[in-house]
Amino acid sequence: MNQTVFPQNPTASKARSSPADAELVHSLDLVIGGMTCASCVGRVERALRKVPGVQDASVNLATESARVSYGAGQAPAAGSWEAVLSRAVRDAGYEARPAEQAAEAGPVSAWAGFAPVAVGLALSFPLVLPMVTGWLGLPFMLPAWLQFLLATPVQFVLGARFYAAGWRAVRAGAGNMDVLVAVGTSAGWGLSVWLWLTGSAGDMPHLYFEASAVVITLVLLGKWLEARAKRQATAAIRALHALRPATARLLGDEGEVEVPIAEILVGDVLVVRPGERIPLDGVVRQGETQVDESMLTGESLPVAKSPGSALSGGSINGDGRIVLDVTAVGTETVLARIIRLVEDAQAAKAPIQRLVDRVSEVFVPVVLLVALATGVGWWWTGAAMEIAVMHAVAVLVIACPCALGLATPAALMAGMGVAARHGILIQDAQALELARRVDTVLFDKTGTLTVGRPRLMHVSGAGLAGGTDDVAGLLVLAAALQGGSEHPLARAVVAHAQAQGLPSIQPEQVRAVAGRGTEGVVEGRTLLLGSLRWMDELGLPAGPWQAQAQAWQSQGCTVSMMAERVDGEVKGLLAMAFGDEPKPGAAQALAALKARGLRIVMVSGDNRGAAEAMARRLGLDPAAGEVEGEVLPADKAARVAAWRQAGHVVAMVGDGINDAPALAAADVGMAMSNGTDVAMQAAGVTLMRGDLALVGAALDISHRTVAKIRQNLFWAFAYNVAGIPLAMLGYLSPVVAGAAMALSSVSVMANALLLRRWKP
């Protein structure tokens, strides 16, 4: 893999106060404690968005995090952004800490640890035992005072978190899961105490201590299982963090010295022994080896490295000792940027989540009204007060919207995590959701479908300039004109001239003509080098070179011309034919996409003949409209827009700077990581290696992830839609309702984690 330099996300920087930055948008990550359901998410988001200067806020229940966007030129009224935003979250009834502090302090989740669950199970078991023995025909009942002693610690010690969080929510003028649990279990416990104290001496009334204790215990158990599932869902991020070694071997005047990674600077020289992880990005100075880059690219085969080869931190050195020059440290390394991209993607919200957000805004108040109506209705129809209260409690418990808040983010975390493990970085949740609907895939040719290292195959100058200049001399002029260009064809000209041992000269007044070629002055001669289309636009007279150019094009070559401007006229000097090779496996990858029912189109700036010749080698049919040639870079975005206007959902796959507008214009942009930073910044998906099979894999994991989201939302809604009426009609006891509520959250997380088994 080539050294990949990901674009720096401008929103990740700290705010500056200069007016020049006023229009920039920066972001801040917070860890939010105390959230339990989708209602909590909506309330925290509203609190953050009310802070002056905040442009947007996105809260993720699964990661217990928030990302706040604000204007770089704006400053809070008092204090820092961290302090002001944390205050807003606390006023809403929750706790917030900057992500950096949270990482050092450990998780803030109140549900961490099995000890509360174990205590709850131990205290609840004796309360449930009479129910079990009654089913077996061995009825007995614990004394009321003993039931009270067992249930009260569960209610007010283990359940204290529900009261605290619920009170904060009520004080903030909202409701959440904690309110429902606290109200429901308190009603059950209070009813039991009332029946005990008001009962006749010697009578043993039916008490409901077991209902309140078991519900709290089951909720705690569900939250513990949910927390375990969350840790599994974030395994991809933790695995990436684990790739960074703590120390490196610095080569200095005193030999090899082991120093912390934080002390390494760009330009330092490091030694990596066989079997060690490469600590930072760099370039091989000495030695040859094989490097395992599978954790970064998903490619299982080791990659050969020699002097001049790029290295990525986190990869594993093979059997050779190497010396490398450090090229990037800290947040600028490939690994750090990959981690940032995955975190950004997992923190984002898919468009489908908006439905959940709208529902959660009114869910808890509606449930409280439904529970009240249930209790009043049963009492009104003649049921005993305790029966009416128990039915109302069951409604409160079964309706807790935990699963609703987890349905979407849990699937996103699992899907994006497994995709990253296989070399697919999904940077945009919206792109992930749209990818399942893609029906047309447009491919750039050079560097995407082809190797991207064209060679100068044929050169001809005879008959172009009266034979006054020899071909070697013309190649010197062409190489001088192309020396400063990064275009693949320009590099091919320079490489050919160097291989021939031709001298190097300096050009003057060189300028690039977008989509056409290069113009400049070499040794006093005004030269133009570019496509045949440009030469036609310049009015280059027809000549004997045309037949030769057509012959080269029929062979799949790309033909360029160097011409000279003399007294306002243009005359041809040199015709050059460039050949490229399809990427290994490209034809098979395209065939697989077509087998999925997708329309495949190659979009190339080459003349139609050369483009069609390469298309045939890739298994594409020009007669079926699967090739678009002579498309200028500036027109690629227009071609994407045209396909979209025709009613198609379009994915664009490219790698170069000239592909960036098209990648941004597509419904789903996919950039090859061996391309440019600009292309990757414009795309919603980055493919970490040049294997075109990853295009189909990206579409597949997107389809599967969205399917999991829809399944999760179905089950989350189904639990409530089915459970609430059953509880209202008296078919669900509070204990069964508590078990169902815990099961709903766990089942949603478990279903999402099935994505971890996916393989491309």
Tokens of 223: 């939250």
- For 679, other C-beta atoms within 10 Å of its C-beta total 28
Q: Measured on CA atoms in the order 479, 481, 483, 488, is the torsion positive or negative?
A: negative
From 444, 580, 655, 691, active-site residue? 444
Nearest to 62 by CA among 31, 89, 87: 31
Give the residue from 566, 575, 562 showing the smallest Cα distance to 478. Answer: 562
* Angle of the 402-421 helix axis to the 38-49 helix axis, nearest 10: 80
Helix (H) or strand (E) segment spanning residue 132? helix 115-135
255-260, strands of its sheet edge to edge? 255-260, 247-252, 269-272, 322-328, 281-286, 310-311
Query: Which residue has 């491919």 as its token pair?
Result: 443
In the block, residue with structure tokens 């995955």: 342
Backbone φ, ψ for residue 464 (5° rounding): -90, -35
- Beta-bridged to residue 146, according to DSSP, are none
How far is residue 47's CA from residue 54's CA, in Å, rounded to a whole number?
10
Kindly report the CA angle at 436 between 432 and 437, in degrees rounded to 5? Answer: 120
Quick check: 694 and 651 in contact, CB under 8 A? no
Find residue 654's DSSP bridge partners: 671
**Contact yes or no for 643/650 (Cβ under 8 A):** yes
Rg (CA), the chain: 33
What are the residues facing 529 on neighbouring strands? Answer: 518, 562
Using CA atoms of 747, 751, 753, 755 in order, give the dihedral in degrees to the nearest 10. 180
State the DSSP H helix or E strand holding residue 150, giving kind and residue range, or none if neither: helix 144-153
DSSP letters for 276-313:
PBP-SEEEEEE--EEEE-HHHH---S-EEE-TT-EE-T
Give the separation between CA 280 and CA 697, rounded to whole angstroms: 29
Q: Tell me which residue of 360, 342, 411 sits closest to 45, measured CA to CA.
A: 360
Asked if residue 474 lies in contact with residue 529, where contact means CB atoms within 8 angstroms, the answer is: no
Q: At what angle do helices 38-49 and 353-380 cross, to 10 degrees?
A: 120
258 vs 250: CA distance, rounded Å: 6
Q: In the chain, what is the straight-line distance between the N-terminal and C-terminal CA atoms, in Å?
A: 19
> For 51, how many CA atoms within 13 A lie in the half-sphere containing its CB?
32
Q: In the Cβ-directed half-sphere of 94, how many Cα atoms lie within 13 Å?
A: 36
Sign of the alpha-carbon dihedral angle for 293, 429, 438, 717: positive
Of residues 140, 245, 155, the one with CA closest to residue 193: 155
SS3 541: coil
Give the CA diameter of the chain: 125
User: At residue 269, what are phi and psi to the nearest 5 degrees?
Assistant: -110, 125
SS3 537: helix
Nearest-angstrom CA–CA distance, 272 and 165: 51
CA 110/CA 108 separation, integer angstroms: 6
444 is catalytic: yes
Question: Residue 453 and residue 449: Cα distance in Å, rounded?
Answer: 11
Do 293 and 1 contact (CB within 8 A), yes or no?
yes
What gap in Å lies between CA 444 and CA 583, rounded to an integer?
13
Question: Would you please indicate which residues are annotated as catalytic (active-site) residues?
Answer: 444
